Amino acid sequence: MIRIGNASGFYGDRFDAVREMLTGGELDVLTGDYLAELTMLILGRDQLKDPTAGYAKTFLRQMEEGLGLAHERGVRIVANAGGLNPAGLADALRALAAQLGLPTRIAHVEGDLLPARDGALTANAYLGGAGIAACLAAGADVVVTGRVTDAALVTGPAQWHFGWGPEAYDELAGAVVAGHVLECGTQATGGNYAFFRGHDVRRPGFPVAELHADGSSVITKHPGTGGLVDVGTVTAQLLYETAGARYAGPDVTARLDSVRLTQDGPDRVRVEGVRGEAPPPALKVGLSRLGGFRNEVVFVLTGLDIEAKADLLQEQIADALAKNPPAEVRWELSRTDRPDAATEETASALLRLVVRDRDPDKVGRTVTGAAVELALASYPGFHVTAPPGKGAPYGVFESTYVPQGEVPHTAVLPDGTRRELPVPPRTRGLVPVPDPDLPPPLPEGPTRRAPLGRIAGARSGDKGGDANVGVWVRTEEEWRWLAHTLTVEKVKELLPETRDLEVVRHLLPNLRALNFTIAGLLGDGVASQSRFDPQAKALGEWLRSRRLDVPEELL
């Protein structure tokens, strides 16, 4: 068995988690995920100012204490904090270890950084775990990488520890599932959990996977830490930012429809039965580029005649922008107001103006002037939530694919030796899995109008411009109802914003779950900020709040 923990789910996660994980219980490997689509753009902009930058500086600060603690306890550290410059981070870690008088052996993985094209600021292929495994096998105490898949932070140490070959598909798939559960940190231990009421999730501990040679695992956390680990929290994280039954990666394609979860004691969930298939022949490549400039003004509309006030303001702004209009002008009225409200804030609605253009002046002085000049000449009660500012650059994320053989997956070992990793011996193109049979429907009976969330949990997120929302239930009777009720058509009815978009439903009966992918909901991705909730983090909670007819026996 190998115990693999996580201490970071994103760049900016709880700083003292590294110390908590190294001192709070038994570990063999501590991992940290610092990269997301938005992070790559942030690091790219950092590197434009300073070519020696491009990595997560927070991780280097955490290692000021973490290197010594890990050395004392014999824990290996694996993190993708190298971002766009893993070699630079490795050099900085060597200097830190020397300063601290530690014999820490540092290695890194590179090759993911590809030549940018078509105006892209960054282009990075998603590598697998083989480079990490090679570094650990060469005696590395710390391995830092650039853009690897989130799950590779677990598959790499598992390949090293168990000696799995590249065609140990079921074992690798089990490690991918464990890695996906771990990669978002406390989302597996009660953070962002739909059924948070009744649990103490004020400060959830970070997760640990006890991984076995057959690819099965137990998800848990250090003793005495907050939060909880149960079948629900693990199910929620399995559905996060995934799609259908086939979950593809550079090491293996994991079959999410084969995953079986069982409670294995307090704060312990067993994950088993995972099947794997050969990986696809191509690697995903994430491209980030500057899309232009945007600005935003939020106007406050209070009291009576909200719609008429909004109409007046939009007409006035349109007239003011007519001579030099931005390429994109979007309005969104949020009716947060209540009738006969007891406070001014609850009597108010918010009217949001967002503008975009390649020319910063068109979203800067032009827009701020139009807004400010109306301060004494528009609707009664005119004011804004914050003074209008200059236009700010925004990013666009895109993905493409390249053959695995075109990416030089390279492990740079502690002694400086460079080892090129071979491409997988076999690959398999991705095709959809046929839908499994539906369970028998519940017998007809009385129903009551109630929120979906009375029955179901949900977790949602982003993949570029697309969103996913996974919905699950806890009993077989609830599953029989959900599988027949929550169709694509019903989702489009409950979420009117999706009506004109492609929505695909995936069934995962072992998890009593449905996963919906919604193409194009997020425009050009999180960095473009084209939506109120640009990462679709609360899309699932919106869906849970919508009302439909629920059998009374389930309520």
Per-residue three-class SS string for 446-468: CEEEEEHHHCCEEEEEEECCEEE
DSSP per-residue string spanning 226-247: BS---HHHHHHHHHTT--SSEE
Give pLDDT, residue 553.
96
Provide the β-strand partners of residue 392: 294
Q: How many residues does the chain have?
A: 555
Nearest Cα residue to 458 out of 375, 538, 365: 538
| CB contact at 8 A, 146 and 82 | yes
CA 240, CA 257: separation in Å to the nearest integer? Answer: 14
| CB contact at 8 A, 149 and 177 | no
Triad 476, 480, 485: Cα angle to 5°: 140
Going edge to edge, which strands form the sheet with 275-277? 246-248, 253-255, 275-277
Q: Is 56 left (phi over 0), alpha (psi -120 to 50) or beta?
A: beta
DSSP per-residue string spanning 25-62: S--SEEEE----HHHHHHHHHHHHH-TT--S-HHHHHH
Helix-helix angle 231-239:169-182, to 10 degrees: 100
Going edge to edge, which strands form the sheet with 106-110? 260-263, 269-272, 217-221, 207-211, 2-6, 29-32, 76-79, 142-145, 106-110, 410-412, 418-420
CA 186, CA 7: separation in Å to the nearest integer? Answer: 9
Half-sphere exposure of 229 (CA within 13 A, CB side): 29
Global pTM exceeds 0.85: yes
Contacts of 294 (CB under 8 A, 6+ apart): 354, 355, 356, 363, 391, 392, 393, 394, 528, 529
Give pLDDT, residue 447.
97
CA 517, CA 462: separation in Å to the nearest integer? Answer: 10
Q: What is the CA radius of gyration of the chain?
A: 25
Give pLDDT, residue 116.
87
CA distances in angstroms from 474 to 10, 264, 273, 399, 552, listed in the order given: 29, 16, 19, 35, 16
**List of the chain residues with pLDDT < 50:** none
Give pLDDT, residue 498.
96
CA 36, CA 464: separation in Å to the nearest integer? Answer: 10
Question: For the chain, first and last CA: distance in Å?
Answer: 42
Give pLDDT, residue 366.
87
Query: To which H or E segment does residue 308 belong?
Result: helix 306-321
Provide the β-strand partners of residue 399: 286
Nearest Cα residue to 140 out of 64, 70, 77, 214: 77
